[in-house]
Copies of this chain bind each other. A is one copy, B any other.
Amino acid sequence: MNGWLCIAGLGPGDANLVTPEVTLALEAATDVVGYIPYVARIAPRAGLTLHPSDNRVEMDRARAALAMAAAGRRVVVVSSGDPGVFAMASAVFEALEGMPTWQQLDIRVLPGITAMLAAAASAGAPLGHDFCAINLSDNLKPASLIEARVRAAAGADFAMAFYNPRSASRPDTFGRILAVLREACGPGRLITFARAVSTPQEQIHTVTLAEATPEMADMRTVVLVGNAATRRVGRFVYTPRSAA
């Protein structure tokens, strides 16, 4: 049995942001598993089977990938961005619980360029000092905990990156978060909306919290909030290395 499993990050979209490590794993794979739009980024070739699946079936997908590796296949589970940041790596490790045979498999996580860092690079350097990454989706945690974390991060003057800020199923959550931020950080704090980063549709839009509206974000947007020292210089936004 020479199967293996890699959980690989494809980066935010641009092929030039895929690491050589990930490219080599994909070239050696027999099977690629993942959410439909991420598997669609893999070029078909002879000897490679693509297994696209829908959103919100992460545990089924993880178990199917592990079963294939256990059967001797060379499997890459693909995530957008980095697989360890609000993506498939944790789901695969959850699927190992109580499965001692699967725990012996050759399993590796291959890091990728996560959306917040590509977004920060396009905007300048808004995450240039201590920062937090928070998933605003309430699929897997209560909205009250999300709000408490945003308040704690603002209180300690962290810069922040928000993943999954807004979806059709919870259109009001992000408006509430913006209200919390305005109260905690004041109306002048800078906030950057980065949509479809590194793709031809990329849009980077920096405004003050007073100007920010929920409609500026959707599920393809990463939102970056500066700390008290974050400022503009020319067309860029950056957070100084020194505390405010």
Contact = CB atoms under 8 A, between A and B. Distances in A.
A128 B90 contact: yes
A141 interface: yes
A19 interface: yes
A126 B111 CA distance: 13
Interface stretch (A40-48, A115-123, A209-217): A115-123
Each complex incorporates copies of this chain amounting to: 2
Interface residues on A, range: 35 or more
Main secondary structure of the interface of A (DSSP, over half): mixed
A239 to B, nearest CB: 6
Given A20-B16, A149-B158, A153-B152, A125 B140 contact: no
Interface of A: 11, 14-21, 24, 58, 82-86, 89-94, 96-97, 100, 103-104, 107-114, 117-118, 120-122, 124-135, 140-142, 145, 148-149, 152-153, 155-158, 233-236, 238-243
